[in-house]
Structure 1
Amino acid sequence: MHLTRRQFAIMAFALTVRAGQSAAASEDKAVFWQASLADRSINIFGYERINAALVSDIVRDGERISDQAMSVYTDIGPNAPHLKYSTNLKQVPPVLPDLPPTDAEDLRRIVSAAAGAPVDRLPGYVVSLLLMGEGQHPWAPSVEAVIMDHVRSSGKQISPLISDTDLMSIWSPPDSFTLEAVGAHQITYLLEKRRQLGPIGGYMETLYEQRRVSEITQLREEILKAGVVNPLGSLAGPQFKALLLKQVLKIEAMQNFLLLPLAILLGNNGLLELMKTSGFQITTLA
């Protein structure tokens, strides 16, 4: 099974603001931040997998902020190597037989059209990905891709912070035991969340649309606590974040712009908190 770093940067969405006007930023409602240390300033964009046309205000803010930068960075390059799962998901037992009848009926109705395979053959891990992505709109061209194209059109280079060698040295996908642990309990949990919130992918899009980032983080942490596996594996873990911090500390230009997945930035162990502990002052921009 192949995946790219971008393919599983899961969830989010759009906010309508009058042309030329940014959304008001607050601690809980922002997707752009400024990190300051001595004479260095790093403006940071936390992106989600979302169609740029749905978040035109965020695109405008990103283009405006990127225009001020001397140097622009992202976590990995666009041609980073494919990341492989060694686990044969076909060997993981299907989850449907273990679900209560009501959940099984709901799952058949929800997943049948989207799975590309009979739902009674799908393991819990695959079902969890389908439920987490349900309700999302087609995400190409994505918001970060459009902002990056704007950066390149201005003649600036976008430099990856993580080399391909370092990326492969820390890549570790969820193992067989972890994937098999996503079973009936986790799927029942996600189905109940769906009953409360509607399709989870669409709900997360709405939160991002409104820049309600604290609610995105809280829901993601709750989902992980319930045992739903993060498909990014080690690329959402402390080793990757520590490596990013190490590279961020090496940035020497005075005005910088950094584009990173929102999930890497936020939370108690997110990059923004790590930067605070290293002396950066973090403020919200938009």
Structure 2
Amino acid sequence: MHLTRRQFAILACALTVPASQGAAASEDNAVFWQANLADRSIAIFGYERISATLVSDIVRDGERISDQASSVYTDIGPNAPPLRYTTNMKQVPPVLPDLAPTDADDLRRIMPAAAGSPVERLPGYVVALLLMGEGQHSWAPSVEGVIMDHVRSSGKQISPLISDADLMSIWSPPDTFTLQAIGAHQISYLLEKRRQLGPIGGYMETLYRQRRVSEITRLREEIAKEGVVNPLGSLAGPQFKALLLKQVLKIEATKNFLIVPLAVLLGNDGILELMKSNGFQITALA
């Protein structure tokens, strides 16, 4: 099994009152930030897996902000090598027999046939991924893809901060033991969240459309505490963020635009907090 560059962006990823279009950006309600240090200015966009057609206002903001930059960067390049899994998923037993009857019935109803296999055969790891993504619209063309196309059409180059060699040097997918740990408890938890919020992927999509980023972060942290493993393994961890920060600190141009996954930016160990600890002043843009 392997992840393409696009799948990395999606997962870095696998997660209602509409915000007023005229509302001021805040730490809780923004997807663009401004980072300033001395004469350096970096506008930062945190993207999610979502179709550009659903967030036309975010696309407009991204195009406007990118037009003001002289240099544009992203975390990794569009042609990065596939991120391969060596784990044999057949070694991970199905989760359905371990679920309580009510949860098992709900799961059969939600996904009678998923991932090309009957739900009775699916391990907890796969079921968790499917529940986390349920309810999302098709994400092509993606919001970050459309903004990047706009940048290129203006004649600007988009430079990856992390080389392919550095990317592969820190890549370590979840092992079989870790995947086996995603069992009945985690699936029951996700099913209960679904009862409260509706399909989780659709709910997260709505939060992003409304730029309610603090709620996205809180929900992801809660899900992680329940033991739902991030499929990106080490690429969701501190080593990747530290490497990205190291490259961000090397940016020398005066006016810059940085495009990275939202999950990399936010949280106590996210890039924004790491930049603050290195002297940057961070403010919400839009």
Question: TM range, normalised to the smaller chain?
Answer: over 0.9
Secondary structure at the aligned position of 2:246 is classed as helix
**Within 5 Å, which residues of 2 pair with 1:129-168?**
129-168=129-168
In structure 1, C-alpha distance between the alignment counterparts of 2:158 and 2:250, rounded to whole Å: 16
* 1:71 matched residue in structure 2: 71
In structure 2, C-alpha distance between the alignment counterparts of 1:6 and 1:264, rounded to whole Å: 10
Q: Cα distance, 1:90 vs. partner? A: 1.3
Q: Deviations over 1:107-134 (max 9, x none)?
A: 0111124432110100000000000000
In structure 2, C-alpha distance between the alignment counterparts of 1:72 and 1:22, rounded to whole Å: 27
* 1:266 matched residue in structure 2: 266
* 1:57 matched residue in structure 2: 57
Q: Cα distance, 1:22 vs. partner? A: 5.9
In structure 2, C-alpha distance between the alignment counterparts of 1:193 and 1:50, rounded to whole Å: 21
Secondary structure at the aligned position of 2:258 is classed as strand
Amino acid at match of 1:138: S
Secondary structure at the aligned position of 1:161 is classed as strand
In structure 2, C-alpha distance between the alignment counterparts of 1:91 and 1:16, rounded to whole Å: 46
* 1:43 matched residue in structure 2: 43
Preserved contact between residue 13 and residue 236 of structure 2 (Cα < 8 Å):
no
Secondary structure at the aligned position of 1:256 is classed as strand
Amino acid at match of 1:118: P
Q: Cα distance, 1:6 vs. partner? A: 2.3
Residues 1:188 and 2:188 are matched in the alignment: yes
In structure 2, C-alpha distance between the alignment counterparts of 1:200 and 1:242, rounded to whole Å: 29
Q: Deviations over 1:21-60 (max 9, x none)?
A: 6653111000000000000000000000000000000000
Q: Deviations over 1:225-245 (max 9, x none)?
A: 000001111111000000001
In structure 2, C-alpha distance between the alignment counterparts of 1:66 and 1:232, rounded to whole Å: 28
Q: Cα distance, 1:91 vs. partner? A: 1.2
Secondary structure at the aligned position of 1:49 is classed as coil
Q: 1:16 to 1:216 in 2, by over 3 A?
A: closer
Amino acid at match of 1:9: A
* 1:173 matched residue in structure 2: 173
Preserved contact between residue 11 and residue 50 of structure 1 (Cα < 8 Å):
no
Q: Cα distance, 1:187 vs. partner? A: 0.2
Secondary structure at the aligned position of 1:44 is classed as strand
Q: Deviations over 1:61-106 (max 9, x none)?
A: 0000000001000000000000011101111000000000000000
Amino acid at match of 2:271: L
Amino acid at match of 2:143: V
Q: Cα distance, 1:223 vs. partner? A: 0.1
Residues 1:9 and 2:16 are matched in the alignment: no
Amino acid at match of 1:260: V
The number of residue pairs the alignment matches comes to 283
Preserved contact between residue 62 and residue 147 of structure 1 (Cα < 8 Å):
yes
In structure 2, C-alpha distance between the alignment counterparts of 1:104 and 1:173, rounded to whole Å: 28
Q: 1:22 to 1:64 in 2, by over 3 A?
A: farther
Q: Deviations over 1:174-195 (max 9, x none)?
A: 1111100000000000000000
In structure 1, C-alpha distance between the alignment counterparts of 2:45 and 2:198, rounded to whole Å: 27
Secondary structure at the aligned position of 2:257 is classed as strand
In structure 1, C-alpha distance between the alignment counterparts of 2:22 and 2:145, rounded to whole Å: 20
> TM-score, normalised to structure 1's length?
0.96
In structure 1, C-alpha distance between the alignment counterparts of 2:129 and 2:82, rounded to whole Å: 19
Preserved contact between residue 22 and residue 57 of structure 1 (Cα < 8 Å):
no
* 2:203 matched residue in structure 1: 203
Q: Cα distance, 1:152 vs. partner? A: 0.1
Q: Deviations over 1:139-164 (max 9, x none)?
A: 00100000000000000000000000
* 2:126 matched residue in structure 1: 126
Preserved contact between residue 134 and residue 202 of structure 1 (Cα < 8 Å):
yes
In structure 2, C-alpha distance between the alignment counterparts of 1:36 and 1:233, rounded to whole Å: 31
* 2:282 matched residue in structure 1: 282
Amino acid at match of 2:11: F
Percent identity, aligned pairs only?
Answer: 83
In structure 1, C-alpha distance between the alignment counterparts of 2:72 and 2:268, rounded to whole Å: 25
* 2:95 matched residue in structure 1: 95
In structure 1, C-alpha distance between the alignment counterparts of 2:270 and 2:191, rounded to whole Å: 28
Amino acid at match of 2:203: Y
Q: Deviations over 1:241-265 (max 9, x none)?
A: 0000100000000000000000000
Uncovered stretches (5+) of structure 2, i.e. residues with no partner: none
* 1:83 matched residue in structure 2: 83
Residues 1:108 and 2:108 are matched in the alignment: yes
Q: Cα distance, 1:7 vs. partner? A: 3.9
Secondary structure at the aligned position of 1:75 is classed as strand
